[in-house]
Amino acid sequence: MDACIAPATDKLVVDVAFPFTLSTPKYGPSRPFTGNHAAKAAYVDALEAELASLDDEVRARPVSAVRLSGGASIMSADKVCHLVRQIKKTLTLAPGAEISIDVEPLTVCTPSLTDWTSCGITRVNLAALSCDDAELTALGARHSREQLQNALLFLEKFHMANVNFEVLYGAPGQTVASWKRTLLTLAGVDAPQISIRPLVDAASDKAWTAAQTGEANTAQGGVPAAPLPSPETRRAFYEQAQRILGERGYTEIAPGDFAKSGLAPASGVFGPLMRAGADVLGLGAGARSRLDGFLYENACDYDLYVAKSADFEAIVRNPLRESEQSLRARVCPPIENLTASQRFDLLETMGASLAR
């Protein structure tokens, strides 16, 4: 990393964690809670309590971007929008601040989009995962290719053009041909931004290693898994994405992130600020913060968080003063300073970090 690049600690983004899932995934980072309607409602209430407990100094800092991450879209859209309005009232949002939401394709419909757009959500991060039905099944995804296409139609109907499509490479059973079809499908609908992410969590790498040693190849829960691409094949998939998307007018703005030239805003605000080393205020169970020179993480326990979310000392785990080395490590080097191999290595490292 270029030591001359200082982290953008004068900037602040807010990451609101929703550790809920429709079902336990076979691969990848799992969100621990499924929860019924009452449990989800109580969690959003706890988020509002944590928000209300913030001190005046934090409230006064201009916020450039807010991300509703994880399983935000499977929560009650009405409750999520009430939370967004409370964020706007409590924090100081900078002019033009971005508010984005992580979205499961099955949750994209007229009622949810009506609520999301009415409360000021400006960007959608769509967890497409793949455009291949066999891969979606192997991943344990709840949506199909057809349902993904339906989500795109709803987004178009509501003129939600600021969309990032996230897909996985290295999925079980994935081939060069199926990966190419996924990339061409997204490029064919003029996706403003396409983010490719590696499936490099502990379960997937363990399963690939087991396959090479003749051991049983299983996904989470002991379910037989489809063959997993090797690390060398993952690199080939990444290089294939660079080539195919580059030929279709996409520019790699960060490792694994491709924006369509001429379609603005394609790169969003949250991602670039994270890569620039901005301060992060994390809200919710398991949320991580790097704020005012400290690093800390909220407790992941649902019952503890819901009961004590307004009590900083009760929910925060192991606050540490951030070292100079950690501050410098916040900054992702400009992509033009990275070789193709360095880009791939950095992307794989980021994927493994997210999986943890």
**Which CATH number does the domain housing residue 321 bear?**
3.20.20
Question: Residue 120 carries which side chain, given as an amino acid letter?
Answer: G
Q: Residue 297 forms beta bridges with which residues?
A: 288, 317
C-alpha to C-alpha distance for 285 and 301, rounded to whole angstroms? 7
User: What is the CB-side half-sphere exposure of residue 149 using CA atoms within 13 A?
Assistant: 9
pLDDT score at 108: 96
**pLDDT tens across 173-193, in order?**
899 999 999 999 999 998 999
Cβ(149)–Cβ(105) under 8 Å? no
In a domain, 5, yes or no: no
The angle formed by the CA atoms of residues 201, 185 and 349, to the nearest 5 degrees, is 25
In a domain, 4, yes or no: no
Higher-confidence residue of 221 and 346: namely: 346
pLDDT score at 214: 46
Mean pLDDT (whole number) for 328-341: 87
pTM for the model stands at 0.88
Range of the domain at 260: 12-355
DSSP symbol at 107: G
pLDDT of 74 strictly over 50: yes
Mean pLDDT (whole number) for 95-122: 95
In a domain, 45, yes or no: yes
Cβ(78)–Cβ(47) under 8 Å? no
- Rounded to the nearest 10 degrees, the angle between the axes of helix 110-118 and helix 145-157 is 40
Higher-confidence residue of 337 and 230: namely: 337
In a domain, 3, yes or no: no
In a domain, 67, yes or no: yes
Residues found in the chain: 356
How many CB atoms are located within 10 Å of the residue 220 CB? 18
Local confidence band at 213 (pLDDT 50, 70, 90 cut-offs) = very low
C-alpha to C-alpha distance for 154 and 48, rounded to whole angstroms? 29
pLDDT of 264 strictly over 70: no
C-alpha to C-alpha distance for 204 and 181, rounded to whole angstroms? 22
Phi, psi (rounded to 5 degrees) for 234: -60, -40
Q: Where are the alpha helices (DSSP H) in 253-339?
A: 270-275, 302-308, 312-315, 324-329
pLDDT of 27 strictly over 70: no
Strands 316-321 and 294-298: antiparallel
Our count of domains for the chain comes to: 1
Element (H, E) at 45: helix 37-52
Distances (CA, A) of 334 to 4, 18, 113: 12, 30, 35
- CB burial class (10 A; 0-12, 13-18, 19+) of residue 157? exposed
**pLDDT tens across 278-316, in order?**
999 999 999 999 999 999 999 999 999 999 999 999 999
Local confidence band at 26 (pLDDT 50, 70, 90 cut-offs) = low
pLDDT score at 139: 87
In a domain, 203, yes or no: yes
C-alpha to C-alpha distance for 109 and 275, rounded to whole angstroms? 32
Task: Tokens for 355, please give them.
Answer: 């999986």
What is residue 128's three-state secondary structure?
strand
- CB burial class (10 A; 0-12, 13-18, 19+) of residue 111? exposed
Local confidence band at 225 (pLDDT 50, 70, 90 cut-offs) = low
Mean pLDDT (whole number) for 314-343: 89
C-alpha to C-alpha distance for 278 and 283, rounded to whole angstroms? 16
C-alpha to C-alpha distance for 68 and 197, rounded to whole angstroms? 19
pLDDT score at 227: 63
What is the residue whose two structure tokens read 């019924």?
36
By C-alpha distance, which of 173, 126, 178 is closest to 149? 126
In a domain, 7, yes or no: no
The angle formed by the CA atoms of residues 255, 259 and 260, to the nearest 5 degrees, is 150
In a domain, 6, yes or no: no
pLDDT of 29 strictly over 90: no
Cβ(332)–Cβ(279) under 8 Å? no
Average pLDDT, the chain: 86
